[in-house]
Amino acid sequence: MGIDIREDGPWFDGRAERAMKDAADDAREDIAEAGEEHALGLMGANFRNPTGYYESNVQTSRVSSDTSLVHDNGVVYGAWLEGVGSRNRARPGFPGYRHWRQTKEFVRSRGPAIADRAVQRHLPEMRG
């Protein structure tokens, strides 16, 4: 009696590893996209006299292999709009819109579910 062991399939030929990396990349991109959409949605719903300039400067940048950043491209009055600028402290009155803080909480709470959907899309590739 003999035993024949074959090592083939997605776990042995690299397909599963590639699928896991693709899932992680998709999750990062999906979460960043959801964050950008959420921030822009808050701006659209809450800004009192929007010119469109600030919103047009909101973008997502990949800052490392595993990190994307949603930001306002350094618009000088962005901190004031958020409510964390020096002018907000010097002259009380405008508390800010808190759009970035709310977006951060949104991503923190919804990020795992968004990432799970990305992983689910790639599971068939991991199974072979």
- Do the domain assignments include residue 3? no
What pLDDT, on the 0 to 100 scale, is given for residue 111? 97
| 6 found inside a domain | no
Q: Which stretches within the chain are classed as H helix? A: 10-13, 15-46, 53-56, 78-82, 86-90, 99-127
Summarised one tens digit per residue, pLDDT across range 95-111 is: 889 999 999 999 999 99
Q: Classify residue 105: in a domain, yes or no.
A: yes
Inter-residue contact 58 to 36 (CB < 8 Å): yes
Give the residue numbers spanning the domain of 109: 11-127
Q: Is the residue at 74 inside a domain?
A: yes
Q: Count of domains in the chain?
A: 1
Q: What is the pLDDT of residues 30-86, one digit of tens each?
A: 999 999 999 999 999 999 999 999 999 999 999 998 999 999 999 999 999 999 988
